[in-house]
Amino acid sequence: MSEVQTAAQLVEFEGLHNQELLARYNNSLMGVFGTPQRVLVRGTGCTVWDADGKEYLDLLGGIAVNALGHADPFLTGIVSSQLATLGHVSNFFTSPTQIGLAEKLLELAQAPSGSRVFFANSGTEANEAAFKLARRNAGTAQTPRTRIIALEGAFHGRTMGALALTAKQAYREPFEPLPGGVEHLPFGDPDALREAVDDTVAAVVLEPIQGEVGVRPLPPGYLKAAREITREAGALLILDEVQSGAGRTGNWFAFQGEVAGGEQIVPDAVTLAKGLGGGFPIGALITFGDEVSGLLAAGQHGTTFGGNPVATAAALATLHSLEARGLLQHAADVGAWLRGRLASVPGVVEVRGEGLLIGFDLDADFPAGIAPQVVQAALEAGFIINAPGPRTLRLAPPLILTRDQAARFLDALPALITTAAAAAGKDMP
Ligand SMILES: *Cc1c(COP(=O)(O)O)cnc(C)c1O
């Protein structure tokens, strides 16, 4: 098998730079993402390098994915040794890591006895499973439960079922008709929820902290109200923690933290993905209690790859590392400090989030489109951040981010905003 030892050698990209590679990208990859910003070639910790050799501080973590940063030695070791032992078995078989991860997730979710886990490969797939679970809460022949409630601003993924739960018209419209019965209610309005939910509703699907709309936590009391309303009506309470889960907020799950206002909330189902595998693709649906866990019967759902030995080993390694290194507390501390400092940066008007899931808005006097300009200026200056809205920025860095690293960004931010404002043809408001 020749001298080839790395994947990079297989594509003979050595010596090529961002520009040539992106031209090749545009000639070979589907255009759904537009042209990516850079070609990244390696990383370590919170740092990545592009094909031109330029270094970046990664404050986005692959969108809340790289919890342990890049090329974490422990995760790399566990994944490599698992792949070298047994990589894939199909779901005619199971593996110790699959069982172990299911047990671990149930423990971290403080799930009651009878609770169960289904493994998928992504966030949208975890939500597809949740959608099918909701359909099985079918009601009776006289009163079928045909409705599913989601919220305005919700993002639940891009496959057809998850897309039906997603609110954004621009994502939905080109693909209609979508699976039916989904209604979107005003964000954070418990009265609207109370009014909508009755015995025709199969499930209410919520992100405790909406991520894609710019990191927007449910208002105080909403989650508790949603739990009471759904329990009363016999509807499932399904929490999409694809972005907020797996330690990102300083708790294993956001529903265990601030957004629940110190209440002990037991949902009916929770979905996870993004940070769970530390960069290795894996998704999960956790169902709480035996009644809900029995809704999907043998043969009613499946996946070829879901929960394979490598993916579940990656997730076990990630969770173990987060726990053993105290990274939840670290994320909570660094996140609180960072949010506090962000709030006093000129031009920043609102800071939201929990732990290291952070969104902030720039002054409304800036022209719309300022946020993408800040992202651009940040990239030039060696920082990876993201603009989920025209005046909104998001940070979801590796949970190992240090205060010093965060401080580097904070020191640079005022000038980035000024540069972006100038590019947009406007002075600081
Ligand atoms: C990213 C995300 C998804 C979709 O996850 P994919 O892995 O991209 O399919 C679903 N829900 C939420 C809340 C997300 O942030």
pLDDT in tens, 92-102: 999 999 999 99
The answer on whether 158 is annotated among ligand-binding residues is yes
Give the pLDDT confidence of 108-120 residue by residue, as tens digits: 999 999 999 999 9
Model confidence band, residue 2 (pLDDT cutoffs 50, 70, 90): confident
Q: What is the pLDDT of residues 205-233, one digit of tens each?
A: 999 999 999 999 999 999 999 999 999 99
**Distance, CA of 314 to CA of 130 (rounded, Å):** 23
Find out whether 405 is annotated in a ligand binding site. no
Going by CATH, does the domain composed of 37-66+326-423 fall within 3.90.1150.10? yes
Question: Is 119 in contact with 284 (CB distance < 8 Å)?
Answer: yes
Question: Does the CB atom of residue 242 touch ligand 1 within 6 A?
Answer: yes
From the CB of 273, is ligand 1 less than 6 Å away?
yes
Residue 258 CA, ligand 1 centroid: distance in Å = 21
CA 281 to ligand 1: nearest atom: 7
Task: Domain 76-324: give its CATH architecture.
Answer: 3-Layer(aba) Sandwich (3.40)
Domains of the chain by residue range: 37-66+326-423, 76-324
- What is the per-residue pLDDT for 427? 60
Residues 279-336 have pLDDT tens digits of 999 999 999 999 999 999 999 999 999 999 999 999 999 999 999 999 999 999 999 9
289-292 own/partner pairs: CB under 8 Å, 24+ apart: 289/111, 289/112, 289/113, 289/114, 289/115, 290/113, 290/114, 290/115, 291/114, 292/133, 292/137, 292/236, 292/268
Q: Is 124 annotated as a binding residue?
A: yes
Task: Give residue-wise pLDDT tens across range 232-260.
Answer: 999 999 999 999 999 999 999 999 999 99
Q: What distance in Å separates the CA atoms of residue 199 and residue 209, rounded to the nearest whole number?
A: 26
Q: Is 156 in the pocket of ligand 1 (CB under 6 A)?
A: yes
Q: What is the pLDDT of residue 293?
A: 98
Which two three-digit tokens encode residue 26?
A: 């545009």
Residue 234, Cβ density class (10 Å: 0-12 exposed, 13-18 middle, ≥19 buried): middle
Q: Any known ligand binding at 240?
A: yes
Average pLDDT, the chain: 96
Q: Is 128 in the pocket of ligand 1 (CB under 6 A)?
A: no
Does the pLDDT at position 428 exceed 80? no
Alpha helix segments (H runs only) across 12-136: 18-28, 61-64, 73-85, 96-108, 123-136
- Cβ 240 under 6 angstroms from ligand 1: yes
Greater confidence, 264 or 42?
Answer: 42
